[in-house]
Every structure is written in C-alpha cells, then in structure tokens.
Structure 1
Amino acid sequence: MPQTTNEQHAGELPDPRPRKAGGGGVVPVLAFAGITVAVMQTLLVPVIKDLPALLHTDPSNATWVMTATLLAGAVSTPIMGRLGDLYGKRKMLLASLAVMVIGSLICASTDDLVVMIVGRALQGFAMGAIPLGIGIMRDELPRERLGSAMALMSSSIGVGGGLALPAAALIAQHFDWHTLFLGAAGLGVLAMALTVVAVPEPALRAPGRFDLVGALGLSLGLVCLLLPITKGSDWGWTSGSTLGLIGASLVILVLWGLFELRSPAPLVDLRTTARREVLLTNLASIMVGVAFYAVSLVLPQLLQLPTSTGYGLGQSMVVAGLCVAPLGLTMMFVAPLYARLSARRGPKVSLMLGMLVIAIGYGAGQGLMSAAWQTVVIAVVLGAGIGLAYSSLPALIIGAVEPSETGAANGLNTLMRSIGTSVSSAVIGMVLANTSVHTGGAALPSMEGFRISFLIATGAVLIGLVLASFLPSQRESMRPALLASSDEDAPAPTASRPVAGSGGFRGRVLDADGAPVARANVTLIDHRGRQAGLTVADGDGHYALAAPHGGSFVLAGSATGYAPSARPAAYPGDGLPVDTDLVLEVSAPERRTAVSS
C-alpha cells in the first residue's frame, strides 16, 4: 500500500502517479499534436467562400466540407478517449494522427465533393487527440507541472485554430489550395514522429471492455442531433428533415442512456456525468464553445468585406488572418497565468474570470469594428478570456473522476465544446444569412448581423458564468482526501475531526479485544472494485476518508501482524461523515507466537 510522506498534510490528496523528474518533451510534443489536430477546424476558413466553385457544386453542398469535420470530431472524442483508457492513450493518439494524415492526403488529391467530404471527416476524427493528450499528462507528469500542462493542451484547440488562419490564408493566396492539405499531412507526420520519440505509454488502464453498442448508439444519436443543427438554416428549422432528425436523436439518446446505465462497462459513466460538478462543467463548456466559434466566424468576414459596403475593412486574406491570429497566441500565453491563478484560487475561479473577460471582449466589440487595429484588440481580449476558460475545464473534470476514466471524461467534455461550436456555427450562420444585404448582385453579411452575433456570444457566455457559479468552490470535495499522515511526528486527527470535503467515513481501526491498531492502512473501494481513497490511521487508530460521491463502498483495513479485513459501507451523500469502525484479527503466525509466549 502506498505510504504518505512528511510533506503531505491533512486534507491533501495523495498523488498516485509516479513522480518523474524528466519528461520535459512530453508537454510541448502533446501540445504540438493538439495544435496540429485543431488546425483542421479552421484550415479551409480562408477559402470557404470559394469552395462551391473549387468543388463544382452549389453553396449548400459545399458546406458539408466544413460540417463533416465538425460531426466526425464530435463523434470521435468520447470514443477515442474510452479506447485510450482501455488500450493505451499513446497508441490511440498515434492512431488519431494517422487517420488525420490519411484524410489530409485524400483531400489533397481530389476535387470531387463526396471524396473531399470523406477526407474531411477523417481529418475531424483526429479531434480525439485532445482528451488523449490531457490523459497522458495526468498519468505521466508530477503534480506541480500538471496544471500549466493541461492548460496548454486544452488551449491548443484555440491556438491551432488561431494560428491556422494566417498560415492557411498565405498558402491559399499564393499556391494551389490543395497545398493546404499537404501541409496538414506533413504536420501530422511530424507530430507522430515526435510522439513516438518523446511520449511514453502510460501503464494505467481502465478495467472492462469497449462498449461497441454504446459507441454506435452515441455516434448515431450525435449525428442525428448535430446534423440538423448545422444544416437547419439551409433545410429550414421547421422542415420535416430538421424536426424528424431532432426527434430521432432524442429517442436514440434516451435509449442509449438507458443502455449505458445497465451496462457493466459503459462508454460513458452517466452516474458520474450526472454529478453536479461534472454536469455543470460540461454545460459551461457548451457555452464556451459557442463564444469561441463566434469570433472565428465574424472577424475574418468583417475584415475582408470591401470598403464600398460602408462597414467592411477591405483587407486581404492574409492581413485578415494576421489580425485574428492574436486570438490563438494570447490563449497560448495565458496558460502559465492560469496555472498560478488556479493554484491560488482554484479552477472554478479561473473559469468564471475567463468567462467574464469573454463577455467584456464581446461587449466592447460592439463598438470596435471600424478599423483593423480594433479587431486585433478584440482578438487579444477574447483570446485571454477563452484561454482561461478552456484551461480550467480539464482541471475541473479531472478533479471529479477516477484516474482510469480521464480519457473518456475529457473526451466527453471536448464533445460538449464541439456541440457548442456546432450550435454557434448554425445559429450565427442563420443570423448572418437572414440579415444579409445585397450589393452588386451578391448577398453580403451586414453590420447588424455581426452585432447580433456578438450579442448571442455574450448571452451564451453569461449563461455559462451563471452555471459555473454553482460549481463547488473547493475541488477537494470531489476527490478522495488523505487526512492522516504516516509520518510518526505528524499531528494525528481525532475521532471528532470532520472529514475534508463534503463527507465520507470516519472511525477507528481496532483489534478483536477493542484495542486500537496504530498506523493501519484504510482503503475505500467503490462499487466497481476501484480504489476511491486511502489513508493511514493515527496512533490511536482513528481514520477519516472523504467519499467522492454517495453510494455503496467497501472499507478495507490492513496492518502488519493482522489479517486484512473488509466491510461494506454506504454513504448517503448528505455531506455528513458516517462513523464506521474496522476490526482486524491478529494473523495466525502472530497468534501462535502470543500463545507460545
């Protein structure tokens, strides 16, 4: 049983991960992989208005080239996260990057719409690399480096998108547009090579098997939900196709949820997902996704519209990309600031602060649309806010789930962001289309549409701010806490000492005669047989353990010279500690020694 050190104190969580002094290349390599994958989201933004002509199709069909990536990314994130938990996160990360490379090469070699859509879907499938990278960081990095590392990995979604805009615009303006996909394939191959060299395979594995039925059900339900959201403005929000798919998605997802609740090894543990801290974090993630994608849709179009409209800024494709690039750069630079802020105040505070900055940025943006330098200011402010918010989300999720579920839980959280970007794309696309003005025979987005889009983003992030305010303030309440130290000189808790967090178990470890068993190991085991907490009793046999949630557990005790003992225990989840004593029998050799003496 792992022992604590004299550096641990009451209320501190023992770190189950091995502390590694090296591994300096893990963080930059995983961040680079995340940026590479995130590039796929904005790779075609500079040429989006030219896609119908490039693919010899009408505009409604050309939008599938963007939609396919979005849908595939949403479906793949929880699936790849779960596969990583089961079979190895590094293996699945390499598989995700390989799929992206194949999709990029397919896109680089075709002008056919259907083949292009297939290639773009394969590119989007690699979005699962983000939660996989976060999971590897948790497994491999020491605690003091984990906060800033996760912040950088989570922010890579925005960083990749922001940096891709000017680079893609430069390539598209001076080379054949297929070169964009060759560049993406090259980035993918480089990320794979660096991963092989610098990233180890974590030894931690989740128990169980892959839930194929659950994966198929979730995929079908998400496609039926996201497809009408992304295409509703083209099909009509009250059309039979839109309403029929939304209704089908609700039926499929309800049936999927019932199946997952009965599955011994579910793709998504809905009981954990329904917990307040996880549910509110995921709902807030949707709102952050809405806010992030709004600026990516509005600013490039505003910058490239001709000045003859009276509000367009008349910039080239490259200049427009450069003006938006600070969005991603600021997100990257905010990651270290997040680590310090979160260490002092907790990820809840940094999430709320990030959302507040986003709201300020969009609010100020209502009056800062008349010059290119003003769009740079908007991008910097929004980048700072989105960077803080994105950096906080994985820490909130990781603080509420078991280590073996990190990949799947962060995959689901990334899915929530994808749903947010899908909703943002659909709603803002509809707003810009319905408020467009006709100039020279062409329909162009209006300033009214841009301002309404910013208002929608502001409203979404304010809803997210309200949701985040209901998150528990102390993240220790969501994880098992270590209250007693194995250091002989450390102060020991007493029987009346409250359990850290929101409640759990406390009591004494005794022998058959009622005498205390000093320094006994006490382990809390959940209903799946996994360790949910551990501590060491003090010199008088007192122990205290926080429970991560209400439900049935097993308390196991062990000590040198005693036979291990276990007993069932139930925690109602009401925040009050449950008094439970453990009785250890002297082991047979010790008993014989006592008799002979």
Structure 2
Amino acid sequence: MNTTQVVAKPRVLMAFLVAVGVILSVVIGSLGAPLITAVAQQYGVSLAVSQWTLTLALLAGAVATPVLGRLGAGPRRRTVMLAMLGAGVVGSLLTVLPLPFAFVLIGRALQGSGLGLIVLMMAVARDHLDEVRTAKTIALLSVASTAGIGIGYPLSGFITDVAGVRAAYGLGLAVTATAFVAAVFVLPQAPDRPSVRLDVRGAILLTIALPALLLVIGQTTLWQHHTGVALTVLIAALLLLAGWTFLEVHTENPLVDIGLLRHPAVAAANVVMFAGGIGMYLLFSMITRYVQTPSAAGYGFGLNTFQAGLVLVPFSLLGFVAGRLVPGWRERLGPRMLLTASTATVLVAFVLFATVRSHLVEPIVANGILGFGVGAFSAAMPGVILAVTPKAETASAMSVNAVVRSVGFSTGSALGGLILAAHTTGVFPRESGYGAAAWIGAAATAATLLIIAVLPLRRQ
C-alpha cells in the first residue's frame, strides 16, 4: 500500500489528531498552572518549588519539539509517536502514585515532552489527508492549546477541590492512556523515506541553550533584583544558540534545516510569531491574575481556581471557532491579511482591558476577543510556513516555529510580571500596573502589525 495516499478513514484520523492535540494541552498546561498551590500543600513544598511542575513540563516540551521534528521526518515516525505517548502514560502514572515529590517532577517532564507530538501530527495530516482536511487539521492542531485551556483549567480545578491533586493527575493518566491505545489502532505508518540520522551534538547543545534561554527570560525576580546576572545568562544562552546555528549549517544531517529557515517567508513567519507571542501571552496572563486578585486589594474579583478556569472558557471556545474558520478564509484573504486581522483583534482586546475592567464581564469579554485573535493567528501561521516547505520537512519546520512561540510567550509573561512588580508596594500590584502593562502590550501588538506589513509573507 502506498502510504502517501489518503488513508481509508480520513475523518477518523483527523478526529484522532485533533483530540490528541487537545489532550496534550490539557495534560501539560491544565495540570500545571492551576494546581501549583494545591501541589505545594499536598507535598509540603514551597510555591517556588511547586512551580517546577509547570516549568519542567514546558522546558521538556521546548527541547523535545525540534528533536522529535527531525525524527518525524524519517520512516519511523509512528514508532517515535507511540514511544512518546507511552512516555506520557509512564509520566502520568508517576504523578498519580504515592511517591516522593521528585518522581512527580520526573513525571511532569515526561508528560511535557509530549508537546513535540503536535508537529509530528501536523506531518501525519500532510502525508495522509487530502488538501482540505489537511488545512483544517493543521489549523485546529495550532489552536489545540487554546481549546485545551478552557476545558482543562476549570476541570482540573474542580477535581482538585473535590478529590485532591492526585485525582486531577489521575485525569491525565486516563486521557494519555486512552490516546496511546487509540494511536495503536489509528496512527498510520510514515511514507517510505530515507532514514534520518539524529544530530546528537546539535541536540545536546540545544538541550543546554534553549532551557537556559527560557528560564532566564521567565525569571522576573532575577531581572528585578539581579539584572547583571540575568543579562549574563541571557547573553551566554544566545551565544550558545549562535554556536548551535553555526554547527547546524555545517552538519550534513542537521537537527534543523537552517537553509529552509532562511527562506524569506519562513523567517518572516518566525519573526511575526515571536513578536505576536509576546503581546498575546502578556494579556492572557494578566487577565487570569487580575480576576483572581481579592477585591480587598481595591480591584479584582477574588475568584478561586475553578471560577477563574470558567473565565477562560470564552477564550478557548472562540479560539477553537477561529481555528475552524481560518482554512476557509485563507485562499480569499491570503496570509498577510489573515495575520493582520487576527493581530488587530488582539489589539482590540488589549485596548478593552486597558480602558474598562471594573466589572467581571469586561475581562471576560476581553478574554473572549483575545481567544479569537490568538486562535486565528495560530491557525494562519502554519499556512505561511508550509506553503514553502517540502512535506518531508513539515515537522522540522513547524518545530522551530513552536519553539519561537514558546520564547515569545515566555518573554510576554516575564514582561507582564516585571511591569506589575514595578507597581507593587505590598502584597498585590496597584491597579495602575495592569493599565500600564495593557498599554505596553498594546504598543507591542501594534508593532507586530507593522512587522506583518513589511515582511515578505509570500505564498508559494
């Protein structure tokens, strides 16, 4: 059988790929951020230590994504995907069993490595689905994390409140095990392509450089109190990445095809992804924090974890709707107009939150608008890159874009934290800090619009 043809049951494959994308986002994100306080209480550790249940998962995903992207370009893609789904099941089991906290961290790292599967699933869609279904599937996979937030945050918060942390982690075990079993029956073999030799030196160097970059960007306290140290680590990480790039250019079988990344459309898309990601995550993190601030601070609504999770439902719902609509708009509007319209939608959300937030409905509406903008932006981005990318390089090219997005999100989160810290004199920031951060984020988003206008986002 020619595995490059459309599979016998494309609807089943499409549903499986999208469902696994949502599952991964629920397990990695929703079992991290909402549970940090509960994990600290359950295991008797500080909040700073408990934060590593999220940080380790995200770092593992950032490192695994380009490695899996390269492995997915060869004929053993199905084996690699099953192995990673199996690792997710093992990691989920470690979080559920009554083991010391160190095993929870190992489990979360194994779960986080599954983030790299998203780009492999995009490659599966491109190899085994027709053009229309491929566009829809890749768009929905791009917004899977958006959809997963609205499902997972309130669900994990509710389960934790009712039955405890291990019960919430049990949800992760159930869904990852289900995804693994489904993959055994649904996941097709990769097309018959030459075997890909993994660039071990490049993988090791990236494993050092990328976590260092993401960690130093996200350490708000370090930037606030030890700026010199932060700058030193940042420069060292950037130099390591420069060295990694030089190594990849001069390697016969590189981890990432740097030549492909230099294509004007691909390079432009990654620049836009970084700039846009800063503003998008800045606003998302601010709204989440604002609604949970006790009203005794003079603002905020004092929502608990479950209630704050419900506030995120419009973000996810409208993001998913945008992901469904973008494939139909792509041919009529083109990549530049799509990215412009979605970024402008994010800018509207910024302005709304900056000007009105005294009633709960206002942050909710801003969050919904943000979700639609983020969903449309994320769904439009792969079209720019894949229009000039060979099928065999789908996973590798998209893995780099995913890493760029992670760096942009980390930068946006850190920027928001630094702005709020500058407006904090007691326990909580002054409300003026949220206004200042919103206007700075709006300026960054407006700058993204200018970048989109001038960069060569060409079709094939």
Instruction: Tell me whether 1:88 sits opposite 2:84 in the alignment.
Output: no
Which residue does 1:223 correspond to in 2?
Answer: 211
Equivalences for 1:36-51 in 2 at 5 Å? Answer: 36-39=23-26, 40-51=28-39
Paired with 2:215 and 2:98, the residues of 1 have a C-alpha distance of: 24
Paired with 2:419 and 2:101, the residues of 1 have a C-alpha distance of: 26
Instruction: Tell me whether 1:432 sits opposite 2:420 in the alignment.
Output: yes
Instruction: Tell me whether 1:189 sits opposite 2:177 in the alignment.
Output: yes
Instruction: Tell me whether 1:178 sits opposite 2:184 in the alignment.
Output: no
Instruction: Tell me whether 1:452 sits opposite 2:436 in the alignment.
Output: yes
Paired with 2:206 and 2:241, the residues of 1 have a C-alpha distance of: 7
Match of 1:67 among 37, 55, 62: 55
Paired with 1:218 and 1:468, the residues of 2 have a C-alpha distance of: 28
Which residue does 1:547 correspond to in 2?
Answer: none
How many angstroms does 1:112 deviate by? Answer: 4.3
Letter in 2 for 1:467: I
Over 3 Å counting, the alpha-carbon distance change for 1:237 and 1:243 in structure 2 is farther
Over 3 Å counting, the alpha-carbon distance change for 1:435 and 1:53 in structure 2 is farther
Identify unmatched segments of 5+ residues in structure 2. Answer: none
Over 3 Å counting, the alpha-carbon distance change for 1:337 and 1:173 in structure 2 is same
Letter in 2 for 1:299: I
Superposed CA offset, 1:389-409 (max 9, x none): 000111111112111111111
Instruction: Tell me whether 1:351 sits opposite 2:339 in the alignment.
Output: yes
Secondary structure, in 3 states, of the residue corresponding to 1:205? Answer: coil
Higher relative contact order (CA 8 A, sep 6+): 2
Instruction: Tell me whether 1:370 sits opposite 2:358 in the alignment.
Output: yes
How many correspondences in the alignment? 457
Which residue does 1:401 correspond to in 2?
Answer: 389
Secondary structure, in 3 states, of the residue corresponding to 2:368? Answer: helix
Over 3 Å counting, the alpha-carbon distance change for 1:64 and 1:315 in structure 2 is closer
Residue identity over aligned pairs, in percent, reads: 27
Q: TM-score, normalised by structure 1?
A: 0.72
Match of 1:287 among 268, 275, 278: 275
How many angstroms does 1:356 deviate by? Answer: 0.9
Which residue does 1:32 correspond to in 2?
Answer: 19
Paired with 2:166 and 2:125, the residues of 1 have a C-alpha distance of: 34
Equivalences for 1:93-242 in 2 at 5 Å? Answer: 93-109=81-97, 112-205=100-193, 208-234=196-222, 236=224, 238=226, 241-242=229-230
How many angstroms does 1:359 deviate by? Answer: 0.9
C-alpha RMSD of matched pairs (Å): 2.3
Paired with 1:365 and 1:204, the residues of 2 have a C-alpha distance of: 51
Superposed CA offset, 1:462-496 (max 9, x none): 333222223445412xxxxxxxxxxxxxxxxxxxx
Paired with 2:263 and 2:458, the residues of 1 have a C-alpha distance of: 15
Letter in 2 for 1:396: V
How many angstroms does 1:27 deviate by? Answer: 1.3
User: Contact (CA 8 Å) 2:218, 2:411: kept in 1 or not?
Assistant: yes
Over 3 Å counting, the alpha-carbon distance change for 1:191 and 1:311 in structure 2 is same
Paired with 1:305 and 1:255, the residues of 2 have a C-alpha distance of: 44
How many angstroms does 1:240 deviate by? Answer: 5.8
Superposed CA offset, 1:314-346 (max 9, x none): 333322211211111111112231011102122
Which residue does 1:420 correspond to in 2?
Answer: 408
Over 3 Å counting, the alpha-carbon distance change for 1:104 and 1:432 in structure 2 is farther
Which residue does 1:588 correspond to in 2?
Answer: none
User: Contact (CA 8 Å) 1:288, 1:386: kept in 2 or not?
Assistant: no
Which residue does 1:273 correspond to in 2?
Answer: 261
How many angstroms does 1:204 deviate by? Answer: 4.9
User: Contact (CA 8 Å) 1:25, 1:199: kept in 2 or not?
Assistant: no
Over 3 Å counting, the alpha-carbon distance change for 1:48 and 1:360 in structure 2 is same
Superposed CA offset, 1:224-279 (max 9, x none): 21121122524756456433322322232222111111111111111211222111
User: Contact (CA 8 Å) 1:99, 1:122: kept in 2 or not?
Assistant: yes
User: Contact (CA 8 Å) 2:149, 2:316: kept in 1 or not?
Assistant: yes
How many angstroms does 1:36 deviate by? Answer: 1.1
User: Contact (CA 8 Å) 2:265, 2:458: kept in 1 or not?
Assistant: no
